[in-house]
Amino acid sequence: MNTDPIADYLTRIRNGIMAGHDAVVVPASKIKAGLCGILKQEGYIHSFKQVEHEGREYLIVNLKYVKDKENVIHGLRRVSRPGLRIYTGAQDITDVHGGLGIAILSTPKGLLTGKDAKKQNVGGEVLAHVW
């Protein structure tokens, strides 16, 4: 049993990048698929797809590299965690690495980047920072 599936998801992506893999496989869930959608939209991953294997759903996340296997994602950090939830209002959403990264928030309007949450004037739980 995994107590923090989002941290596990981020760790699998981080480890895949460090090992130079083209893709990583993670157990599927709606929130992980939403995280993949945001990472793809923002250009941090190439693509993802959901597959079924032996009765279980998995996400295959195709990682994105630039020339010479230099990874696009330089860092991933879990912000809110099961033992310490971090919430923020729309006015208090901070820039990640001086605007070079993104904050991913779980809001009443679904998963949004920090920039989109500010535009829609909605706050929520800060799930992760990606740069």
Q: Is 73 exposed, middle or buried (0-12, 13-18, 19+ CB in 10 A)?
A: buried
pLDDT of residue 68: 83
CA angle 80, 86, 92 (to 5 degrees): 125
pLDDT of residue 69: 82
- Buried b / exposed e across 4-28, counting CB within 10 Å, b at 16+? eebbebbebbbebbeeeeeebebeb
- Entry pTM: 0.92
Mean pLDDT per 10-residue segment, the chain (131 residues): 92 96 97 98 97 97 91 95 96 93 97 97 98 96
Q: Which residues contact 119 (CB under 8 A, 6 or more apart)?
A: none
pLDDT of residue 18: 94
